[in-house]
């Protein structure tokens, strides 16, 4: 389907009533969701995807899991050397120059293509990212037509009403209809994502084209775009704080399901956080932009929160058991 079709896509408005509360029940038995993450063929993306897939396989069939099949949606436009290791589906990147160096803009375009072309058996989809680790089996947290999403403390639509109104007009309702989420992690019915994705793409591109919006939202622009697109379709998300933890700010794993290692973890040898300053001990995924982390990383010093210790142990287990960990190269 022509790319221009999505730029001009009509905004289909759903009539689902709003749900914006924390639901504390268990998973929905028998309601499998497809695990889908968008990725590139860069080494940085590859090693994270390999760890993520390792832990998916480990917890998928455990009790209370509603996890179905897995797809790495590869938006580099060509196959890479992980096709035999990780179930993958190749889609095209945005036309050259359209992302203006903001590679995350390829995410909604990747989902549009995948949903249109792939055969997806499950009724629900989990949108995930390479730097997610499943710390326990994940049940379906969605409730029927109401997706489940993680509330991010830095996504604040109400504080940016002037900007949000450029894309979510007053006649659509209050700005509080825009949930404080990104697209990931979200568990959502497939047909809803099929409706939302073209709008998500359009809003992302429009936001990137608007200088004020681009400057204000920066690296979370595409997250705001998903939140706005969902609201334009009348879709509200059940906010699940237990969906995910983010060390070092969340000190304990507790009852949460996904560990997101997006932040650097820097500590001195006394176990004190030195965020913003490289620590005597550190784990930061950005330290491994050009190659995978080595096996058997050193554990944090005493006093470091349990979540950080758990992260390093899970990375170490994956790297010790993934064949050819040290030899993988971009292909």
One digit per residue, the tens of pLDDT, for the chain of length 331 reads 444 444 443 333 332 223 333 333 344 445 999 999 999 999 999 999 999 999 999 999 999 999 999 999 999 999 999 999 999 999 999 998 888 888 899 999 999 999 999 999 999 999 999 999 999 999 999 999 999 999 999 999 999 999 999 999 999 999 999 999 999 999 999 999 999 999 999 999 999 999 999 999 999 999 999 999 999 999 999 999 999 999 999 999 999 999 999 999 999 999 999 999 999 999 999 999 999 999 999 999 999 999 999 999 999 999 999 999 987 655 4
What pLDDT score does 178 carry?
A: 98
Contact 59, 77 (CB under 8 A): no
Three-state DSSP class for residue 42: coil
The domain locations on the chain are: 142-182+190-238, 265-321
Backbone angles phi, psi at 171, to 5 degrees: -65, -15
What pLDDT score does 28 carry?
A: 46
Three-state DSSP class for residue 20: coil
Q: What is the DSSP string of 290-320?
A: SSPPPSSPPPPPTTS-HHHHHHHHHHHHHHH
Residues in CB range of 292: below 8 A, 6 or more apart: 43, 46, 47, 50, 319, 325, 326, 328
**Residue the block writes with tokens 């349990």:** 306
What pLDDT score does 101 carry?
A: 84
What pLDDT score does 8 carry?
A: 40
pTM: 0.90
What pLDDT score does 15 carry?
A: 29
Task: Provide the β-strand partners of residue 90.
Answer: 74
Query: Burial of 226 by CB count in 10 Å (0-12 exposed, 13-18 middle, 19+ buried)?
Result: buried
What pLDDT score does 327 carry?
A: 75
């Amino acid at each position: 389907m022509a790319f221009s079709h999505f730029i001009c896509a009509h905004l289909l408005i759903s009539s689902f009533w709003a749900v914006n509360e924390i639901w504390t029940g268990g998973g929905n038995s028998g309601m499998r969701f497809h695990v889908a993450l968008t990725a590139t063929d860069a080494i940085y993306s590859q090693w994270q995807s390999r760890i993520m897939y390792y832990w998916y396989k480990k917890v998928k069939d455990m009790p209370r899991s509603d996890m179905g099949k897995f797809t790495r949606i590869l938006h580099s436009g060509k196959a890479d050397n992980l096709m035999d290791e990780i179930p993958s589906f190749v889609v095209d990147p945005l036309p050259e120059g359209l992302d203006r160096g903001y590679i995350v803009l390829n995410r909604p375009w990747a989902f549009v293509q995948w949903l249109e072309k792939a055969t997806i058996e499950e009724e629900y989809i989990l949108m995930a990212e390479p730097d997610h680790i499943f710390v326990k089996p994940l049940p379906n947290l969605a409730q029927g037509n109401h997706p489940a999403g993680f509330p991010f403390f830095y996504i604040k639509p109400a504080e940016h009403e002037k900007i949000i109104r450029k894309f979510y007009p007053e006649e659509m309702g209050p700005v509080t209809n825009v949930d404080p989420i990104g697209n990931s992690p979200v568990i959502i019915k497939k047909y809803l994502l099929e409706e939302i994705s073209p709008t998500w793409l359009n809003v992302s591109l429009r936001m990137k084209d608007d200088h004020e919006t681009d400057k204000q939202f920066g690296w979370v622009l595409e997250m705001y775009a998903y939140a706005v697109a969902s609201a334009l379709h009348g879709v509200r998300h059940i906010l699940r704080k237990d969906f995910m933890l983010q060390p070092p700010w969340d000190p304990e794993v507790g009852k949460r399901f996904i560990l997101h290692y997006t932040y650097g973890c820097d500590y001195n040898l006394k176990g004190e956080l030195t965020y913003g300053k490289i620590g005597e001990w550190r784990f930061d995924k950005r330290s491994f932009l050009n190659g995978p982390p080595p096996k058997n990383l050193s554990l944090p010093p005493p006093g470091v929160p349990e979540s950080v210790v758990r992260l390093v142990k899970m990375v170490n287990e994956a790297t010790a058991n993934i064949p050819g960990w040290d030899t993988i190269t971009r292909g």
